Chain A
Amino acid sequence: MNWFTKTFSSTIGRKIVMSITGLFLCSFLVVHLLGNLTLFRNDGGEAFNLYSHFMAHNGIIRTMEIVLLLGFLFHIYDAIVLNRRNSSARPINYAENHPEQNTGTWASRNMGLLGTVILVFLIIHLWNFFVPARFGGLDPVVIEDVEYENLYVRVVQSFQVWWYVLIYVLGMIALAYHLIHGFQSAFQSLGLTHKKYTPFIQIFGFAFSVLVCLGFAIIPIYFFFSQQ
């Protein structure tokens, strides 16, 4: 192994990869949420369908899609490697252990569990929206004499199902807890702590986690109740 692979396979190196990919994925959440806001325009899905068409065909977006996929893969791969290392670091568990008495948050002790829930959610989400939008399988819709794929109808139909809405809400709750710990923890792992800025990062991270996940969760709830 040379110095580069050694660095990124060390415990600290892997945490650095976790932090950078995690913060990158946070930036993706912002873009995704902003795009989703087009769903709330009362135009029968025109703006949303144009937006999704742009996302599926623009060259820069398609390139970033690969970078995003790599971000997910590195984040998940390092999480698995670190989790395995961490559990083998304590082969015999305590008969009596009370971590809740000395650690701040439940989320900080259960990032792997939360991450797994998010991954399951992500697979369901991609299967229902991303795969048909990207590889075909959606109904056509004509906007100003041009034919587009009608992803909007898929959104409307999906969120008529109550358990589907429930999956989304649970997925976003898991994501919120994951981010509440993860956002500020990423800065600590990268060594970016300072008396002046760390309190701001912690407050911002909390607000970011709650608001972004709330923003996503409102969409299925909105469509479920507006169609009743």
Chain B
Amino acid sequence: MAGNNPNAKLMNLTLKVWRQRNMNTPGQLVTYPVKNISPDMSFLEMLDVVNEELLIKGEDPIAFDHDCREGICGMCSLFINGRAHGPERGTTTCQLHMRSFKDNDTITIEPWRAAAFPVYKDLIVDRSAFDRIQQAGGYVSVNTGGVPDANEIPIPKTIADKAFDAATCIGCGACVAACKNASAMLFVSAKVSQLAMLPQGKVERKTRVENMVAQMDIEGFGACSNTGACAAECPVGISLENIAIMNREYISAKATSENVA
């Protein structure tokens, strides 16, 4: 488990971790002293070490979300020392390393806080609100038939790049966690604008933005104050411009769609 660098000085830390048995019981911060942590470990590996010790002591290990540990799946979360995914910019928690902390640091670890993201257990939150928003319109309909040639539909390079940048959203929820309003605007706008910009997405363009925004509001996310915290904390660097694009899409859809309900 220790790191590769034999000269790295091992660290002793104090963790304050949010422990909560389940959705229905209130939780609290619990303090854990942690010894001999290599600066080469990832943040999640550090938690693995803590959990191994907890298991040996017969205690309940700290529950946290993780999957690929390569920074691409969006599964890991954690609000670390007052920041979504910790102190580094453009990183997920699995890509955050212990060298970002100092010996004898106290590290506070909390789950994402949002009414729409209820805590399942300890640091794990239910992010299925994002799934329901996606299901409301974050797709394109592809009719059956012959496969068209890839170069049949011309798309300007700038548009293709913008759509791709928006499509890199991994749905981790750091934008919601960092936003003072627990707003999901950056996530929803990335999904909306990614498809709205491309010819394939134009078919459902109006209903998509109407339905996704409606679902976002139903889930209980806050509104946007344009503080920019979401984009600053986004591990893949989704731009605030997407929110402007979504608002534009929303205004024009609401003004021109045939949907009067």
Question: CB within 8 Å of B: which residues of A?
Answer: 2-3, 6-7, 10-16, 82, 85-86, 88-99, 101-105, 108-109, 111, 181, 185, 188-193
Contact = CB atoms under 8 A, between A and B. Distances in A.
Contacts of A185: 225-226
Given A89-B183, A191-B247, A94 B113 contact: yes
Contact of A190 (B114, B228, B251): B251
Given A89-B116, A95-B29, A102-B232, A14 B223 contact: yes
Contacts of A86: 180-183, 222-223, 225
Contact of A16 (B29, B113, B221, B251): B251
Q: Sorted from nearest, which 9 A-B pairs have the closest CB atoms?
A: A191-B248, A98-B82, A89-B222, A86-B181, A86-B222, A89-B182, A11-B223, A191-B247, A102-B232
A6 B260 CA distance: 10
B224 interface: yes
Between A16, A101, A192, the greatest number of chain B beta carbons within 10 A of the residue's beta carbon is seen for A101
A3 B233 CA distance: 35
B178 to A, nearest CB: 6
Interface size class on chain B is 35 or more
Contacts of A11: 183, 185, 213, 216-217, 221-224
B213 A108 contact: no
B83 interface: yes
A99 B217 contact: no
Given A85-B222, A109-B227, A3 B261 contact: yes
Given A90-B115, A95-B108, A98-B81, 10 more contacts: A7-B254, A11-B217, A12-B223, A85-B222, A88-B220, A92-B113, A108-B225, A109-B180, A189-B224, A191-B251
B247 A12 contact: yes
A103 B244 CA distance: 18
B237 to A, nearest CB: 13
Given A96-B108, A98-B83, A103 B222 contact: no
Given A10-B214, A88-B115, A103-B232, A82 B254 contact: no
A12 B222 CA distance: 10
Contacts, number: 143
A90 B223 CA distance: 12
Contact of B229 (A6, A88, A102): A102
Contacts of A7: 254
Given A2-B260, A86-B180, A88-B115, A94 B79 contact: yes
Interface of B: 16, 18, 29, 79, 81-84, 87, 108, 110, 113-116, 178, 180-183, 185, 213-214, 216-217, 220-229, 232-233, 240-241, 243-251, 254, 259-261
A89 B245 CA distance: 23
Contacts of B81: 96, 98
Contacts of B244: 188-189, 191-193
A82 B229 CA distance: 18
A191 B226 CA distance: 12
A14 B185 CA distance: 14
B152 to A, nearest CB: 29
8 contacts: A10-B213, A11-B222, A96-B81, A99-B229, A102-B228, A103-B232, A108-B226, A191-B247
Contacts of B83: 98, 101-102
Contacts of A16: 247, 251
A90 B82 contact: no
Nearest to B221: A89
Contacts of A192: 244, 248
A90 B181 contact: yes
A106 to B, nearest CB: 10
B248 to A, nearest CB: 3
Contacts of B29: 95
A185 B225 CA distance: 8
Given A88-B220, A89-B220, A90-B113, A97 B247 contact: no
Contact of B223 (A15, A181, A190): A15
A85 B219 CA distance: 12
Contacts of A101: 82-83, 87
Nearest to A192: B244
A116 to B, nearest CB: 15
Contacts of B116: 89
Contact of B250 (A12, A97, A102): A12
Contacts of A105: 227
